[in-house]
Amino acid sequence: MYATLLFVVIISIFPIIWVIISSFKTNAEILNNPFSLPTSINFNAYIEVFEQYDMMLYTWNSFIISTIASLIALLCFAMGAYVIAKYNFKGKNLFYALFTLTLLVPGHTKAQPIFSLIMNLDLYDKKSGLILVYISAGMAISMFILRNTFLSIPKELNEAAEIDGASFLRIFFTINLPLAKPGLATAGILMFLNNWNEYFYAMLLTSSNSNRTLPLALGFFNESFSYDYTKMFAALTIAIVPGILIYSFAQEQVQQSVAATGIKG
């Protein structure tokens, strides 16, 4: 059992570790022995990638688009999930089912209507257009996670607050939202990472270099770098590391959310 788990872990993390280690090697070292350790730590590839290929611009674009989309989606969908979890109204289950069923729809099948909508709104090749698309893309998974999170919060807390005369917004923001931190962290991380790694709609809805995101830039880098493997691995490391760091800092919150979702789901 443990041997199998250890094998799966090694298989999963080995490519990431290999890419990171290779980014500090020279091309000669990579070609001579791809799996050897670097003879010395070499940051030249990172310096050249940032100086020659606008890596800072692409990284900033991905960060700002992913962050804004995730924060707006969290606030909007947290309210929706809270209402579905705590209040009874006609058609509630159907409403929730329609939200979650969108998880079964392949994202690429919505490309034509999304492209037409963005063009009609005059948001093509604008960061706001990608933000709008990414907000809608995070709806289903965030509603699912946050609904189960709010279900795990005792309803007696809301009832006591209502007796004291607290308003809907006060109950939501001062009682339920702080207690839902694990679910918010999980939904936020998943949406951020999905946005950070998204390639298809970034390619479809942008055309200028100034609005290009990091995953899209990596596709162009493959052509530019050709056989310059060190720079390629450095660019990949820059794209990988933020997700690892974010999850590492919020790991405890994510585990709590998964446990609560499993109990209440």
For 46-58, the pLDDT digits (tens) are 888 888 888 899 9
Instruction: Say which DSSP state 38 is in.
Output: P
- Measured between alpha carbons, how far is 201 from 61 in angstroms, rounded to an integer? 14
- Measured between alpha carbons, how far is 45 from 73 in angstroms, rounded to an integer? 36
Reported as a pLDDT band with limits 50, 70 and 90, residue 263 is: very low
Q: Is the pLDDT confidence value at 236 over 60?
A: yes
Mean pLDDT of the chain: 86
Q: Does residue 48 sit within a domain? A: no
Q: Does residue 21 sit within a domain? A: no
* pLDDT computed for residue 255 by the predictor: 67
Cα-based distances in Å from 234 to 6, 50, 86, 222, 246:
27, 10, 47, 12, 19
* pLDDT computed for residue 12 by the predictor: 84
Specify the CATH number for the domain of residue 151: 1.10.3720.10
* pLDDT computed for residue 265 by the predictor: 47
The 3-state DSSP class for residue 168 equals helix
* Count of domains forming the chain: 1
As to burial, measured by CB atoms within 10 angstroms (0-12 exposed, 13-18 middle, 19+ buried), residue 153 is: buried
- Owner of token pair 């055309």: 207
Q: Does residue 24 sit within a domain? A: no
Percent of the chain with pLDDT strictly greater than 70: 93
Q: Does residue 37 sit within a domain? A: no
Q: What is the pTM of this model?
A: 0.86
Question: What average pLDDT does range 250-262 have in this prediction?
Answer: 64
Q: Does residue 74 sit within a domain? A: yes
Q: Does residue 97 sit within a domain? A: yes
Question: What average pLDDT does range 16-23 have in this prediction?
Answer: 90
Q: Does residue 125 sit within a domain? A: yes
Question: What average pLDDT does range 148-166 have in this prediction?
Answer: 89
* pLDDT computed for residue 121 by the predictor: 94
Show the domain range for 140: 54-215+245-264
Q: Does residue 16 sit within a domain? A: no
* pLDDT computed for residue 221 by the predictor: 76
